[in-house]
Structure 1
Amino acid sequence: MFIINLTYKTELEKIDQFLNEHIEFLNEQYKLGHFLASGRKIPRTGGVILSNIKSKSELEKIIEKDPFKKHELASYELTEFVPSKTCDELKFLME
């Protein structure tokens, strides 16, 4: 499992130009079962995605498809972790 930490490298006006494409990318990854949760940071300096992809190299290939990555609008930090404790609603993450 990975936490993907996006940090914007440009002004929000430029980010907003590609936001709909980024949302389409996210929707596709949710449909494929690759992403579990996502959202913007507060203040709006980037975003966070929770992915259940097992392989870092596979996840990096997926990220290459993100319009924010394609247009060099954000940097991506990947943190791999293994959940060892969750609330009842998220027990499936430990399977």
Structure 2
Amino acid sequence: MFIILLKFSANKAAAKDFMAGHNQWIANGFADGVFQCVGSLTPEGGGAILAIGESRGEVEKRVKADPFVINDVVTAEFIEVDVKKTAPGLDALKG
């Protein structure tokens, strides 16, 4: 499982120009079954994604295709978690 932190860069003001593409990129991640949840870093720090089912290289490649990453609106940080135990209903998070 991966926790992906998308932290705003100095180019944060450009986010509005790439929001539609970023939202489509998120929708594609859900449609592909990779993204399990997304949310905002508060206050106004960027976003976070919980991703499963791909290797680190595949996840990094996917994130590099995000219009926010391509256009330096955010920088990406990857945290890899080897999940050992989950609450009922969250077994998909286990590698």
State if a TM-score over 0.5 links the two structures.
yes
Contact kept, 8 Å, 2:25 with 2:66, in 1: the verdict is yes
Q: 1:16 is matched with which residue? A: 16
Where does the alignment leave 5 or more consecutive residues of structure 1 unmatched?
none
Contact kept, 8 Å, 2:34 with 2:54, in 1: the verdict is no
RMSD: 1.6
Deviation beyond 6 Å, 4+ runs, structure 1: none
Look up the equivalent residue of 1:52 and give its one-letter code: I
Where do residues 1-95 of structure 1 align in structure 2 (5 Å cutoff)? 1-10=1-10, 12-94=12-94
What percentage of residue pairs aligned between the two structures are identical?
29
Where does the alignment leave 5 or more consecutive residues of structure 2 unmatched?
none
Look up the equivalent residue of 2:4 and give its one-letter code: I
Look up the equivalent residue of 1:72 and give its one-letter code: D
Q: How high is the TM-score relative to the length of structure 1?
A: 0.88
Q: How high is the TM-score relative to the length of structure 2?
A: 0.88
Alpha-carbon distance, 1:83 to partner: 1.5
